[in-house]
């Protein structure tokens, strides 16, 4: 794949993740009060939570530290992608990670906290951006492993 093709695909994934994340959060904010819970399935609830930390509430209240950590991670990812944009499939985790991170950063800038709303037993509430970031990390590890000489 060409470098430009990799950037275009990563951009499309980023836009799709960001749009889906913001749409689902807007629906939750317009239909649930903070703390309200609705059972969807026996193992899945919708619950509106305002998360002012990162990764399941870690560093809650430390907005400046959160912004610095996210900015550093995004900068590193963009630099890595710029150097490896022609690698097969590297566009997918890059788009997932950037789209998820930007979805949560947008919430943080607009509201001072991220809207989380999916809740499974024994796990903190999360959102579409969090899912994209998690899948993106796994996909990045797999794509890096696939590119190693064995």
Q: Over the stretch 87-112, which tens digit does the pLDDT of each residue have?
A: 888 999 999 999 999 999 899 888 88
pLDDT at 140 over 70: yes
- Note the pLDDT of residue 14: 97
Domain housing 129:
3-147
- Note the pLDDT of residue 87: 85
What DSSP character marks residue 54? B
Q: Is 52 tagged catalytic?
A: no
**Distance (Å, whole) CA 136 – CA 118:** 18
Using alpha carbons, select from 97, 117, 100, 134 the residue that is nearest to residue 51: 117
How many domains would you assign to the chain? Answer: 1
State pLDDT tens for residues 110-124: 888 899 999 999 999
pLDDT at 139 over 90: yes
**Distance (Å, whole) CA 89 – CA 146:** 10
Q: Is 130 tagged catalytic?
A: yes
- Out of 33, 86, 116, 149, the active site residue is 116
CB of 109 within 8 A of CB of 118?
no
- Out of 52, 111, 130, 149, the active site residue is 130
Q: What is the pTM of this model?
A: 0.86
State pLDDT tens for residues 41-52: 999 999 999 987
């Amino acid at each position: 794949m060409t470098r430009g093709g990799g950037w275009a695909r990563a951009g499309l994934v980023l836009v799709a993740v960001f749009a889906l994340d913001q749409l689902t959060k807007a629906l939750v904010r317009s239909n649930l009060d903070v703390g309200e819970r609705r059972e969807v399935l026996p193992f899945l609830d919708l619950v509106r939570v305002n998360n002012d930390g990162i990764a399941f509430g870690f560093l809650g209240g430390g907005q400046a530290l959160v912004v610095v950590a996210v900015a550093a991670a995004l900068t590193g990812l963009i630099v890595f992608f710029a150097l490896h944009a022609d690698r097969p499939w590297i566009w997918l985790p890059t788009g997932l990670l950037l789209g998820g991170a930007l979805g949560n950063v947008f919430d943080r800038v607009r509201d001072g906290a991220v809207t989380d709303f999916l809740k499974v037993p024994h796990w903190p509430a999360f959102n579409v951006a969090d899912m994209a970031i998690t899948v993106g990390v796994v996909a990045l590890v797999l794509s890096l492993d696939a590119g190693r000489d064995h």
